[in-house]
Amino acid sequence: MKHAMSFNAMSSGVPYSTNGSAPRCGHVDGLTPVTPLSPGCKACEKQGDGWTALRICLTCGWVACSDDSPHRHAREHYQETDHPLAGAMDPDSSWRWCYVHERKV
Ligand SMILES: [Zn+2]
Ligand SMILES: [Zn+2]
Ligand SMILES: [Zn+2]
């Protein structure tokens, strides 16, 4: 009689991802391809500074420097515009960063 209650937890229908923890990021839904608006971080170029890596805003195509860079203009762009997603400029990289969820999506 006792074994009948064992397997109910798996079928509760909770809309979480299969790895169990974080809710999935809905920001990636409905994304359309964007074209980079510039070849580098315009804000850094204005100041005569450099960057470590570039990010492209996946909402509007704005190009800015990454969190590894001294000025973190990509994060600044998110704070000004609420555009939640950034990707790498490298076309071989398919990861995307969600600033709202603070993780790769
Ligand atoms: Zn998100
Ligand atoms: Zn910059
Ligand atoms: Zn943007």
pLDDT for 20 equals 61
Q: Which ligand is nearest to the CA of 23?
A: 1
pLDDT for 92 equals 79
What the chain holds in terms of domains, given with CATH numbers, is: 37-105 (3.30.40.10)
**Distances in whole angstroms, Cα of residue 13 to Cα of each of 6, 28, 33, 74, 90:** 16, 22, 33, 37, 38
> 33 C-alpha to center of ligand 3: Å?
13
User: How far is it, in rounded angstroms, from Cα 32 to Cα 79?
Assistant: 21
> 103 C-alpha to center of ligand 1: Å?
8
> 34 C-alpha to center of ligand 2: Å?
19
Residue 29 sits at φ, ψ, to 5 deg, of -70, 135
Q: Which tokens sit at 97?
A: 């960063």
> 69 C-alpha to center of ligand 3: Å?
18
pLDDT for 89 equals 86
Q: How many CB atoms lie within 10 A of CB 37?
A: 13
Low-confidence ranges of the chain (pLDDT < 50): 4, 6-17
